[in-house]
Structure 1
Amino acid sequence: MCEVVVLHDGYSFVNNDGEMIANCSCTLIKGPHNIIIDTMTPWDSEVILTALKEHQITPDDINFVVSTHGHSDHTGNNNLFLKATHIVGFSISFKDKYYIHPFEKGEEYVINDFVKIIPTPGHTLSDVTVLVKSEEENIAIVGDLFEKYEDVNNQSIWQEAGSEDPIKQVKNRTMIADIANWIIPGHGPKFEVTDEMRMLLKNQTTLGA
């Protein structure tokens, strides 16, 4: 069984000077494999190291690093974890060795009996989501497929954050909500998925719905 720990809640907002202020959620999965997902900006190494220490984890204990996509706020501290296999979007590597996996054909990548990675393009064309079976619940760590809880009702939040394929993003948001009990979004706290939310997402079949 796995334990899912949010090490840092992501955020995004525009300050009084009109500047975008943002950082991503960073999540630890403890289990048969220790996995860290989305390693924040390059200025956050101490934040991550301190949070890992609180859970008796060192960088060398991490088996997989997953960046849900390749943007700088999701990959900034990948180099702390030099004993891990790295998965950045659809790319899988260890040191200078790269491994081919057909994410682009919709195929999932299974890490163990509790954790798998599935392609969820939209925000970028190579976005992935980490699905965790924890006790009787499914937890989805989705990167910027969902920016935050508020974008379920207000689609302009994720649209304005950038989407390389909005049609695929709508489809994959609905798909994830159908299978997850909890979502850890890219730039907000973890939230529970309700039947009302699932129905709302199903109804959002066109942009601006």
Structure 2
Amino acid sequence: MVMNRTESDVVPAGVQSVPLPDSQTDFPGAPYSVSVLKPGYCRPQPDGTFRADGTISLITGPRTILVDTGGPWDRDFLLKTLKDRGLDPGDVDMVVGTHGHSDHVGNLSLFADAVVIVGYDVSEGDTYRPNKLSEGETFRVDEHVSVLPTPGHTAQDVSVQVKGTSAGTVLIAGDLFECCSDEDSWRDLSVNTAVQEVSRQEALRTADVIIPGHGLPFRVLRN
């Protein structure tokens, strides 16, 4: 993913984000399918706090990949949901944490045998693999699944791109997008709004469906 565009380059013409039906959380495909196990949320509270949890997504196919694990409070939900799909934690080949916030990586310890990607770190057990995510280069899982550097919300956010689903290319974007209609609200949570704007617009150019960090999936329409 190219990250060195100028301000004039970053706004794609004729692009529209459209909410999908609340029930559309599964995107079958070959060889990979994508399912949202739990849509994230972010709800301001009257006392000035907010309640939040990150979206949890599962990619199934030649490899089983979990993208974001929710917060520690999601442990029982996550184990039950995997079991309902015939999976144990040991069946998960790879876990990707789109960034290091607690509502996205709170259950990493359940997947000690998996390859783990959090931000720009790629590890298996205590062995860390070289990669070039920090240089703006994609980490390819295979020809259909890639981990893309999409910084801005934090300095090392990543997104997972899945090609070949029934909906086209799906991007599991973490907090690159809060939700479909986040408008400018994402800016208050960004460590670098200019960089995140570039990452967001690149995503809108290339994805057909985006799964945001705190909301339901939405479709990207281009004229």
Normalised to the residue count of structure 1, the TM-score between the two structures is 0.89
Deviation track 1:137-163 (CA, whole Å, cap 9, x = no partner) reads 000001000010111xx21x1012x21
Deviation track 1:45-73 (CA, whole Å, cap 9, x = no partner) reads 11111111121111111000000011111
Match of 1:141 among 172, 180, 183: 172
Q: For residue 211 of structure 2, what is the amino acid of its counterpart?
A: I
Match of 1:158 among 167, 182, 186: 186
**Partner Cα distance (1:138, 1:78) in 2:** 26
1:29 equivalent in structure 2:
59
1:199 equivalent in structure 2:
none
- Structure 1 or 2: more helix by fraction: 1
Instruction: Answer whether contact 1:180 1:193 (CA < 8 A) is retained.
Output: yes
2:154 equivalent in structure 1:
124
The structure-2 alpha-carbon separation of the partners of 1:141 and 1:100, relative to structure 1 and needing over 3 Å to count, comes to same
Deviation track 1:154-207 (CA, whole Å, cap 9, x = no partner) reads 21x1012x21111110011000111100000000011111227xxxxxxxxxxx
Question: What 5-or-longer segments of structure 1 have no aligned partner?
Answer: 197-209
- The CA RMSD measured in Å over matched residues stands at 1.1
- 1:17: Cα distance to partner? 2.3
Question: What 5-or-longer segments of structure 2 have no aligned partner?
Answer: 1-30
1:106 equivalent in structure 2:
136
1:200 equivalent in structure 2:
none
Match of 2:199, SS state, is helix
Deviation track 1:112-144 (CA, whole Å, cap 9, x = no partner) reads 221000101100110001000133600000100
Is structure 2 residue 199 aligned with structure 1 residue 169? no
Equivalences, count = 192
Normalised to the residue count of structure 2, the TM-score between the two structures is 0.83
Structure 1 segments (4+ residues) deviating >3 Å: none
2:210 equivalent in structure 1:
183
**Partner Cα distance (1:112, 1:62) in 2:** 16
**Partner Cα distance (1:135, 1:67) in 2:** 22
Q: Counterparts in 2 of 1:34-73, with a 5 A limit? A: 34-73=64-103
Instruction: Answer whether contact 1:108 1:118 (CA < 8 A) is retained.
Output: yes
- 1:18: Cα distance to partner? 2.1
Match of 1:2 among 28, 32, 39: 32
